[in-house]
Structure 1
């Protein structure tokens, strides 16, 4: 019986490192992950390519700085429908979308980040489920951005998750550009079963150390 417990604890100890790595799995869903003037391979706009623009609206913020100030000369890591972020776009709701996967078995994740938009994000959807609704009417392209920090339901085990930002572009007096900037990560939240395996793993380590301390050396005389 003792041998059975020892084997069980040993298996738990072996599982522990992989379990802890899975529990800490995080995916970066930020925009602008590429070179300025090229397509952002991670994001689409209305199903078409999203661009990291070569020029942006002077009011658009990057890390708290307007375009052209404090090193903000890289397109502000925004994405826009065209390679030039100052181009006029029609008044409509534009869908910015990305797909991500988490190999963890978790079905819940923590979504933490900040966004800026021109004109304004009206809703954020994850797998066609609304996870954030913005009740404000003001444009959101300057200042410190709008923060999001909440738990969301995800599809784990390598399944594809679809994240969508719906951005309203209003009519401007002389035309209006459209854009989105997001700095965010999505981290898997361990399942209760995962925590149990971690506890068992720690117990296995303690059990093993205790056995070693109690081991006795026997001498046999002829």
Structure 2
């Protein structure tokens, strides 16, 4: 084999090896269809909507890392309400707006009966993802899900999980991520509406004055 052919063969082998050992594309796949295996909204105290379950542990990044693109898609759907989440309450009123591109905080194990995010505080509507490694009362083993919940008006750094019978439990919960808190609604706030109305009124007044000035007869 000539030197040129040998070089080509070696380059081809290296390319095949590189492709063969490349990291697989990120993809969050449901454990089963939502109709038969939906997450429980009330598992997170204050929950108003949830999305899942998804197979395996999806929470690998650390605090400050970029949120996995597949997870960003799930969070976007949960905030937009289209498609409908796998579980929701009457308090769920999408769409909502939030910046979830960066992981705000993580936990690697429950602290007592709660999930603790350290010094990171949560308030109002909040987005979290939780993984269940096994032994959970209401969650699938080796599965992940995402919750939109109301953390309340007083800042907190931990969340409470409750089973279907209302008992506080962190059984099976192994790790998770916090993506956004103090989430706002996509509908303008009352103050914003007031400013918009003032602006519309000013525009209308200006247009009326302009029409009146145009309609005045011209003096000879």
Q: Which of the two has greater strand per residue?
A: 1
TM-score, length-normalised on structure 1? 0.33
RCO higher in structure (CA 8 A, sep ≥6)? 1
